[in-house]
Structure 1
Amino acid sequence: MDAKARIIELRQIIEEANVRYHTMDNPMMTDYEYDKLMKELIELEKAYPMYDDPNSPSKKVGGEILQQFEKHQHTVPMMSLSNVFSIDEMNGFYEKMIKENSNLSFVTELKIDGLAVSLIYKEGKLIKAATRGNGLVGEDITQNVKTIKDIPHQLKKPIDIEVRGEIYMSHQAFKKANEERLKENQELFKNPRNAAAGTIRQLDSKVVAKRGLSMFVYTIVKGINFVKTQFEALNFLKELGLPVNPYYRHVKDFNGLKEAVLYYDELRKTLHYDTDGAVIKVNEFDQYEKIGYTAKSPKFQIAYKFEAEKEESKILDITFQVGRTGVITPVAELEPVLISGSLVSRATLHNEDYIKNKDIRIGDYVWVHKAGEIIPEVIEVNLQKRNNQEPFKMIEHCPVCQSRLERKEDEADYYCMNPDCSGKNVFKLVHFASRVAMDIDTLGEKVVELLHEQTFLQQISDIYKLKDHYDSLIELDGFGKKSVDKLLEAIENSKKQPLDRLLFGLGIKHVGAKVSKILVNHFPSMDALMHASYEDLINIPDIGPEIANSVVQYFKDESNIKLINELKLLGLNMNFEKIQVKEHPFNGKGFVLTGTLQNFKRDEAKKLIESLGGNVLSSVSAKTDILLAGEDAGSKLKKATELGIRIMSEDEFMELINE
């Protein structure tokens, strides 16, 4: 066999192996055999550069570093799906569909918990991949997508086609990615979906290649140009060599739909990837235009959302954590149990009232789920398995410094009031260095704890003095010259973070990321904010008495003033550069959003308003200038009407944002 023929053969074998391994979970060869074939292909391509092909599977190792992502205008909007949460609601959808046409059939598919992406092929070659974005405009992530092994660069037919699907991270890849981050002392990914979404937007495609992402393709854009039904479309996608989830069904009636979703609900517990529901689609493409669309969703398909997965476990103990503000959080120590793809051995119990209201006791068997599919939480006690467990009793002293705890009358939490509590200090340092605050890469919780124990880090300003301990740091276990240099570089870079990040990192009670941005927009320097009075603060939209009082009290504390002055001398940015917005009717206006918007998600509308000089408030008050009212607006609309506040429709809003 000549070199060209062997190169073509190797590419075909490797592409098939990628699909079998990543999509079908049914490897056709060992890793050793795969690596041998890949090595042979790479060597042949080097020896015969005239046969180079940018779509070769050998290119799926990454290497390109992007400066930014280009925008991509979708020719057909990437819409979201309407959700149903029960068999009865699904029946409502079914009845509505067959009322117009009793001959309709349906296709059921697993709803993969990942990131929606569109792939565009020309003459069978992958030329572009883009994220959903806002549904109309996404980001061009072609180079990153080309590193995903089960996405073919070359289809088995030389056709022009656009397909869409879900990029996801398997449980195995998720575990491996977090093991790598743990070694690097980086913050761990919360769940596979967040890991996949964060990975696909990396600027360095080498990072993407290492993370082991996968994809399932589930639809053809303008599919009626190729086949007549969704069931045929899925089979056609497989024929093209694209990765298709194998668990799809063609059903003729409601009993078939019900049987399918109940099957999926059980199946999901055995899969090596996350799924949060089933997608139900009318099968016949020629009915789609007749059935129609809402502003954001097709009417001919829905997502049946599963109840959050919960599992039973036993509470072995209840321990207590000290947060950065001194708040004491009870934590259930559990017999390890697998929930939503990860092993859970600890779950939050929130506070004393939560435990007593649910009568949670050490030794109880309890139901645990992941709140928001992220944070493990105890939700219910299995009283049928209770024996003679002692009722819960809240501790009276801090578990770290043994100071007596205090509980304020209007709060559910207990606090350690000792300003020198080392437990609080560790969490303050971790929070300050976190990605959402000063974003000091490699200064994660374990590194902070180690440096705190070694006395290098006792307060925030010590972070910026670590370079003075260089020789001692490189001698610590798990460190070395390379890792210390990387840490110190990240610390130095953090000095340039904007003022709102610094303010958030200081951990002032009630001052989160959003409030920090509001404050620095009105007081664009640390000095100005330090001298702001309670009256100055309370007059800012969305700043209530609690926040205003907390800020004033923070800057009255001499130890806090000393810390800020130290940070100034250490070179941290103490000023905020306001974004210059063009002249627009929204400038300086206070908005409240209510009801369901048809053309925007809430966050998108909020960003638009802020980019045009407006400010989005959480509730209607005398500070509100405009109420943006979507469908099914409720009490906020009533209150705004009573106060004589301007009511703006979504159509009017869309006209104004384009001015």
Structure 2
Amino acid sequence: MIKNNLQYQECVKQLTKMAYHYYVLDDPIASDEEYDILYHQVKNYEEKNPKEILSSSPTQRVGMPPLLEFQKSTHKKKMWSLDDVFNFEELTEWCQRIFKLYPDASFTCSPKFDGASLNLYYENGKLKSAATRGDGVMGELVTQNAKTIPSIPLEIPYFDNIEVRGEVVITKEDFEKINTERLENNESLFANPRNAAAGSMRQLDSAITARRKLRFIPWGFGEHTLQQDSFFESMQKILSLGFYPVPFVKVCKDLKSIQAYYEEIMKMRTDFEMMLDGMVVMVDSFKQQESLGFTIKSPRFACAYKFPAVEKHTKILSITNQVGRTGVITPVAELEPVEIEGAEIKRATLHNYKEIEKKDIRMLDWVVVIRSGDVIPKIIKPLVEKRTGEEKKILPPTHCPVCNQELLIEDIFIKCQNLLCEARVKESIVHFASKKALNIDGLGERIVYQLFDANLVHSVIDLYSLDYGELLKLEGFKEKKAKNLLESIANTKNIDLWRLINALGIEHIGEGASKKLAQSFGLSCFEKNIEEIIGLEGFGEEMAKSFVEFSNINKNLVQMLLKILTPKNIIQEQKQNYFSKKKIVLTGTLQQPRDLIVAMLENVGAKVSNSVSSKVDFVICGENAGSKLEKAQALGVKILNESEFFAYFNKES
């Protein structure tokens, strides 16, 4: 029996220590019975004295009342994605770029866990928030769920503000148990442990997350004031504060030792209790990291050295023909189920029928299937020596599997031309709402299919007449969700014209081409002929023909969307500028956001390229520019630093 607050604090401290040894170190210092007795004593005291409850009490890890939705949370520092290297040659090239600037560089090497990234923010020693990676700048706030994970300390003995980043994972054994339970409950199965971890973190009901045996394994920092210059030493400091001890972390001082450690970890891959998909190689010095900086997408001071794709043998049972938004038919092999890296693989893409013919893949063939990380499983080749004579040639379809219309055979592509085909309509709406198109938050594939199957939408136009009351009748829709979806759709009005062009899903017309059309012709782009479109830099006959044909065939649809959305006619006449019609390459770490500089250049008719050649007019350099700068110097291309660029840009033409 706990009699006073002092006793209560001591009991919470002891209970926390017991939980740490049990859940994190896997080295129990008390029996289950002893833990349960002390836990209930603490809980009883808290029920009688709710104002004295410590936020670090293990009782606070239980699931809270379900949320209606996740709030957004901006990270203090951006969460970057790592560039991948896939073999020793690529690793050598990556390391040489580091050694060129820092011959004495050393590297912290650690396993790359396959789970869901999480950013923990501690303020004055207390866990203030936990957020998913999201787009790297902003994620979803999942603090309630994070608090249910025993290996995430609710308090740490470090009182400066700090972001601790890591991976939420689940063991292969616990993953199997979850799927067995879901199977018994008639629920859909998780594809692999990574999906199970990610799905568990995004539960609106944290009580469900609490039942899953999740672990948080730190791998880095965002905002911090750690004094050590060594990443390795800083990680050891953090781990000593009560986090899960990260296995297999080692400092390597040269290429040979990095490769040797990679091979050592790879041997553990199959038998290790959690999914590993590679090794992270990180420059150890924070000062060197800061100097090396970042590209648009990733840090220059770290990479993910991925394990080779796992190959398995299985049998083709049948072929399913999928219809995409542009009408292209993609053959998909239905396979005898096979496990690859913890995921049960039942399907693999065959790309197209020319590919099937070229590889001589047949029905009932035994085949080699690979899957690496997030890559869609694909068939490499048939095992001809296993053929029995029962195998049959796979023949291309002549009619659409969805609408039964006759198909058009166009070189390697087989296409359904029926714009009203159900499969095309669904996929076109999904694309219309996607991030690089109209970016309609909350309108993913599952919701699109739900709306379509409920007869609420039959085309993108129907999105703009969705009824609030009808949405509330759908499974999973409550007032907040319905309201948010309608607001997201309404917010697409007055978007940039290029987004609408890209959202239409016109074959061969992607983001770059959409911007070029909008900048060059404005709203009149849909009225241009093939010759006028071909006149644009970078447009070939196939692109021009595709755009003009789409505009003619779907004239009514386009006019209705223009009327509903009233998109911004951003550039009808481009201003002449020093950089107009020039070809530009950006390299190095720039002070201003790279996207801003690219937009400035494109808005005055410049073309931004990724590679340096003799046809490039200018290379704009930031700090720590590498091989692109060297190549520009060798070719005699004019080089500008960032200040010079802005000075020239602001000149009168």
Query: Does the CA-based 8 Å contact 1:109-1:248 persist in structure 2?
Result: yes
Q: Which of residues 568, 573, 594 is equivalent to 1:576?
A: 568
Q: Which moved more, 1:624-633 or 1:61-70?
A: 61-70
Instruction: Indicate yes or no: 2:556 matched with 1:562.
Output: yes
Question: Counterpart of 2:485?
Answer: 490
Query: Does the CA-based 8 Å contact 2:402-2:422 persist in structure 1?
Result: yes
Question: Counterpart of 2:339?
Answer: 338
Question: Counterpart of 2:627?
Answer: 632
1:504 match: secondary structure: helix
Whole-Å separation in 1 of the counterparts to 2:551 and 2:342: 45
TM-score after normalising by structure 2: 0.69
2:153 match: secondary structure: coil
Question: Counterpart of 2:589?
Answer: 599
Whole-Å separation in 1 of the counterparts to 2:254 and 2:487: 63
Query: Does the CA-based 8 Å contact 1:144-1:209 persist in structure 2?
Result: no
Whole-Å separation in 1 of the counterparts to 2:458 and 2:289: 64
Instruction: Indicate yes or no: 2:639 matched with 1:648.
Output: yes
| Equivalent residue letter for 2:504 | L
Q: What are the ranges of 5 or more consecutive residues in structure 1 without an aligned counterpart?
A: none
Instruction: Indicate yes or no: 2:548 matched with 1:546.
Output: no
What is the Cα deviation at residue 329 of structure 1?
Answer: 0.6
Q: Percent identity?
A: 25
Alignment of 1:290-305 (within 5 A): 294=292, 304-305=305-306
Whole-Å separation in 2 of the counterparts to 1:383 and 1:236: 56
Whole-Å separation in 1 of the counterparts to 2:456 and 2:68: 38
Instruction: Indicate yes or no: 2:347 matched with 1:378.
Output: no
Alignment of 1:526-541 (within 5 A): 528-534=524-530, 537-541=533-537
Whole-Å separation in 1 of the counterparts to 2:581 and 2:14: 60
Question: Counterpart of 2:428?
Answer: 428
Alignment of 1:315-394 (within 5 A): 315-370=316-371, 373-388=374-389, 389-394=391-396
C-alpha spacing 1:10/1:222, structure 2 compared with 1 (3 Å): closer
| Equivalent residue letter for 2:589 | N
What is the Cα deviation at residue 460 of structure 1?
Answer: 3.3
C-alpha spacing 1:145/1:590, structure 2 compared with 1 (3 Å): farther
User: Deviations along 1:11-30, whole A, 9 cap, x unmatched?
Assistant: 66358647854786999999
Query: Does the CA-based 8 Å contact 1:367-1:378 persist in structure 2?
Result: yes
User: Deviations along 1:74-109, whole A, 9 cap, x unmatched?
Assistant: 9xx999689572399679979x99xx999x998752
Q: Which moved more, 1:320-329 or 1:239-248?
A: 239-248
Whole-Å separation in 2 of the counterparts to 1:611 and 1:54: 50
Question: Counterpart of 1:13?
Answer: 15
Query: Does the CA-based 8 Å contact 2:107-2:283 persist in structure 1?
Result: yes
What is the Cα deviation at residue 431 of structure 1?
Answer: 3.2
Alignment of 1:58-69 (within 5 A): 58=60, 69=73
2:565 match: secondary structure: coil
Query: Does the CA-based 8 Å contact 2:579-2:649 persist in structure 1?
Result: no
TM-score after normalising by structure 1: 0.69
Q: Which of residues 379, 404, 407 is equivalent to 1:405?
A: 407
C-alpha spacing 1:151/1:378, structure 2 compared with 1 (3 Å): same
What is the Cα deviation at residue 356 of structure 1?
Answer: 2.2
What is the Cα deviation at residue 392 of structure 1?
Answer: 3.1
Question: Counterpart of 2:247?
Answer: 246
User: Deviations along 1:39-66, whole A, 9 cap, x unmatched?
Assistant: 9659827834255548987278687999
Query: Does the CA-based 8 Å contact 1:106-1:282 persist in structure 2?
Result: yes
| Equivalent residue letter for 1:337 | V
Whole-Å separation in 2 of the counterparts to 1:21 and 1:356: 54
Alignment of 1:484-523 (within 5 A): 486=481, 490-491=485-486, 493-497=488-492, 498=495, 499-522=497-520
Question: Counterpart of 2:467?
Answer: 467
RMSD: 6.2
What is the Cα deviation at residue 233 of structure 1?
Answer: 6.2
Whole-Å separation in 2 of the counterparts to 1:78 and 1:453: 38
C-alpha spacing 1:52/1:650, structure 2 compared with 1 (3 Å): same
Whole-Å separation in 2 of the counterparts to 1:631 and 1:36: 60
User: Deviations along 1:282-322, whole A, 9 cap, x unmatched?
Assistant: 99x8xx98999755699998754322333332211122111
Q: Which moved more, 1:397-406 or 1:488-497?
A: 488-497
1:425 match: secondary structure: helix
Question: Counterpart of 1:609?
Answer: 598
| Equivalent residue letter for 1:506 | L
Question: Counterpart of 1:167?
Answer: 167
What is the Cα deviation at residue 270 of structure 1?
Answer: 4.8
Q: What are the ranges of 5 or more consecutive residues in structure 2 without an aligned counterpart?
A: none
What is the Cα deviation at residue 627 of structure 1?
Answer: 4.3
User: Deviations along 1:498-539, whole A, 9 cap, x unmatched?
Assistant: 2544433332222334443444445555xx333344455445
Whole-Å separation in 1 of the counterparts to 2:72 and 2:476: 31
Whole-Å separation in 1 of the counterparts to 2:367 and 2:619: 44
1:510 match: secondary structure: coil
Whole-Å separation in 2 of the counterparts to 1:622 and 1:482: 57
| Equivalent residue letter for 1:244 | P
Question: Counterpart of 2:398?
Answer: 396
Whole-Å separation in 1 of the counterparts to 2:628 and 2:73: 36
2:266 match: secondary structure: helix
Instruction: Indicate yes or no: 2:51 matched with 1:49.
Output: yes
Aligned residues: 614
Query: Does the CA-based 8 Å contact 2:86-2:308 persist in structure 1?
Result: no
Query: Does the CA-based 8 Å contact 2:310-2:372 persist in structure 1?
Result: no
What is the Cα deviation at residue 241 of structure 1?
Answer: 0.7
C-alpha spacing 1:468/1:255, structure 2 compared with 1 (3 Å): closer
| Equivalent residue letter for 1:605 | R
1:278 match: secondary structure: strand
